[in-house]
A and B are shown apart, each in its own frame.
Chain A
Amino acid sequence: MVLVYLSVIALIPLAAVVSRSADAGLGGFWDAVSTPQAVAALRLTVVASFVVVAINAVAGTLIAWVLVRDEFPGKGIVNSLIDLPFALPTIVAGLTLLALYGPKGPVGVNLAFTRASVGLALLFVTLPFVVRAVQPVLLELDRDMEEAAESLGARRRTVFRRIILPSLTPAILAGSALGFARAVGEFGSLVLLTGNIPFKTQAASVFIFSQVESDDVTGAAAVSVVLLAISLLVLLAMGWLSRRAVRNGG
């Protein structure tokens, strides 16, 4: 019964995408994904996602560190705030960023319709992943190791680099992988903020959308499959990397 529900809702529709992408044969598939516009869109998405995930890997670890090891009034609120990108509809996220960092924004910065805006939106939606992945690991961390290292003369920075960071690496990688998968598929927050300018600020998801609107369903399906493949690949790669990190004494 479980399987039926799952199939009806998810599996069959996705199978249709894969099957449709093959409708025009391998040649047609290749044509669809190698148009300049498609390539530009895919490249923008992948590059932006990588950059953003890298930034949030660092920022996320930092934030997790502060939340776990530091104490200050209002920490509970800040902690809850982290989940905001999970709770807030993506279209609203785009709108809020537009309000603050777009034209007529009080900060005087106008990022709307620029490549940076893509990055900004993706930063927003992928923020919680690394934080939430690292927090529990940090909480469970055995302070004994750090104290032993310090008693042996290591500086705080060294302790962090050699003792703490390796333990966190699997979590950081896992969180980053999830963040990346989310980023490459992100749509709602990009719609208003980036202007969706082909070749400049059009992400893969928006490209797929426009293909559907102009009835090139096969082309849309082809690019969709590529997108799916990319995110699945990264998920697998990260999984492998993090298992290695664990094995090599994280």
Chain B
Amino acid sequence: MARLALRFTALAYLAALLALPVGFVFYRAFEHGIGTAWESLTTPEAQHAFWLTCLMVAIAVPLNTVFGVLCGLVLVRQRFRGKALLSAAVDLPFAVSPVVIGLALILIYGRNGWFGGWLADHGIQIIFSLPGMALATIFVSLPFVVREVAPLLREIGTEQEQAAATLGASPLQTFFRVTLPAIRWGVAYGVVLTTARALGEFGAVSIVSGKLAGQTETLTLHVEDRFQAFDLTGAYAAAVVLALMAIATLLAMNLFKPKAETS
């Protein structure tokens, strides 16, 4: 009896908080017909926003993946003082609000920022432009690959790598033939999480982009833009696209998570 009550409570909570709202957005998006929804998705701004989001992901994910693997190796395999600091620094994006991240970037690269003058002199535009948004996206999605790879490396230990050395493999050969394959599911899962975070980024790019429709709007910013313009269908339609990408991410997470945790 108690078990059923618990189950019901849990499921009801989840339904009310997660499932129903998301489901309802789908309904709202297609409320006025699929045609209308499709139209709002194929406006130049919407298409540009979609493309821009994909671009941000394409930049942030590979960079953070390489960083993640290297950083994981450094954290686990090397000895040096201040390791705890490095680990904490990597976790910073979790503790910092996205708007603060946006602010930080402006303070560095903006007109009056630390590098602002030098950048302006050389005609390089970071804020209110793509590079700034890319930096913001990279910042917020930084930790995921590291956090998946590091425990895996710790668990696997160095014996396989030592064995490879005795068999004649150079450090580079060992890395590509032994280490990397051993952590591949952790990397995969980390990549999925990084992608999800990069896709969903809003606060930091909000500040850094200047929100110029058709130019510096990602899909998330586009949702807000449409909403403020009272184009609800447009907003819901874009939201649905993002929700579908999120569900795809969830599926990928489901696929890789168990493999990442048993090695």
Give A contacts to B, CB under 8 Å. Answer: 1-3, 5-6, 9-14, 16-17, 20, 59, 62-63, 65-67, 70, 72, 78, 80-93, 95-97, 99-101, 105-106, 123-124, 127, 156, 178, 181-182, 184-188, 191-192, 204-206, 208-209, 212, 217, 220-221, 224, 227-228, 231-232, 235
Q: Report the bound CA distance from A192 to B235 in whole Å.
A: 11
Q: Report the bound CA distance from A13 to B135 in whole Å.
A: 10
Residues of A within 8 A of B102 (CB): 212
Cβ of A189 to closest chain B Cβ, rounded Å: 9
Do A217 and B103 have beta carbons less than 8 Å apart?
Answer: yes
> Closest 10 interchain pairs by CB?
A185-B97, A89-B200, A13-B104, A188-B202, A96-B21, A187-B203, A16-B107, A87-B246, A66-B10, A88-B246
- CB-CB under 8 A for A124 and B18, given A10-B89, A228-B100: yes
From 147 to 188 in chain B, residues with beta carbon under 8 angstroms from any chain A beta carbon are: none
* A–B pairs, 15, beta carbons within 8 Å: A10-B92, A13-B105, A17-B107, A80-B251, A88-B243, A92-B239, A95-B25, A124-B21, A181-B94, A185-B97, A185-B100, A188-B200, A188-B202, A192-B227, A205-B97
Do B253 and A80 have beta carbons less than 8 Å apart?
Answer: yes
Residues of B within 8 A of A228 (CB): 95-96, 100
Q: Which of A67, A89, A208 contacts B199 (CB 8 A)?
A: A89
Residues of B within 8 A of A65 (CB): 6, 10
Do A187 and B28 have beta carbons less than 8 Å apart?
Answer: no
Q: Is B45 on the interface with A (CB-CB < 8 A)?
A: no
Q: Report the bound CA distance from A66 to B20 in whole Å.
A: 20
Residues of A within 8 A of B97 (CB): 184-187, 204-205, 208, 224, 227
Per-residue A-contact encoding for B112-139, CB less than 8 Å = 1, 0 else: 1110000000000000000000010011
A-B pair count, CB < 8 Å, reads: 226
Do A235 and B99 have beta carbons less than 8 Å apart?
Answer: no
Classify the secondary structure of A's interface with B: helix
Residues of B within 8 A of A82 (CB): 14
Q: Report the bound CA distance from A146 to B5 in whole Å.
A: 21
Q: Is B220 on the interface with A (CB-CB < 8 A)?
A: yes
Residues of B within 8 A of A224 (CB): 97, 99-100, 103
* Band of interface residues on B: 35 or more
Q: Is B59 on the interface with A (CB-CB < 8 A)?
A: no
Give B contacts to A, CB under 8 Å. Answer: 2-3, 6-7, 9-11, 13-14, 17-22, 24-25, 28, 67, 70-71, 74, 86, 89-90, 92-108, 112-114, 135, 138-139, 142, 193, 196, 199-203, 206-207, 220-221, 223-224, 227, 235-236, 239, 242-243, 246-247, 249-251, 253-254
Given contacts A10-B93, A62-B6, 13 further A-B contacts (CB under 8 A): A2-B74, A11-B92, A16-B107, A83-B253, A87-B196, A87-B246, A88-B243, A89-B220, A92-B200, A93-B21, A186-B97, A209-B207, A227-B97
Cβ of B102 to closest chain A Cβ, rounded Å: 7
Do A84 and B92 have beta carbons less than 8 Å apart?
Answer: no
Do B223 and A187 have beta carbons less than 8 Å apart?
Answer: no
Do B74 and A101 have beta carbons less than 8 Å apart?
Answer: no
Q: Report the bound CA distance from A188 to B114 in whole Å.
A: 27
Cβ of A4 to closest chain B Cβ, rounded Å: 10
Q: Report the bound CA distance from A124 to B221 in whole Å.
A: 20
Q: Which of A70, A85, A92, A101 contacts B6 (CB 8 A)?
A: A70
Which residue of chain A is the closest to B243 with respect to CB atoms? A92
Do A92 and B223 have beta carbons less than 8 Å apart?
Answer: yes
Residues of B within 8 A of A105 (CB): 24
User: Which residue, of A14, A65, A72, A191, has the highest number of chain B Cβ atoms within 10 A?
Assistant: A14
Q: Report the bound CA distance from A127 to B18 in whole Å.
A: 9
Residues of A within 8 A of B206 (CB): 187-188, 209
- CB-CB under 8 A for A205 and B90, given A2-B70, A92-B25: no
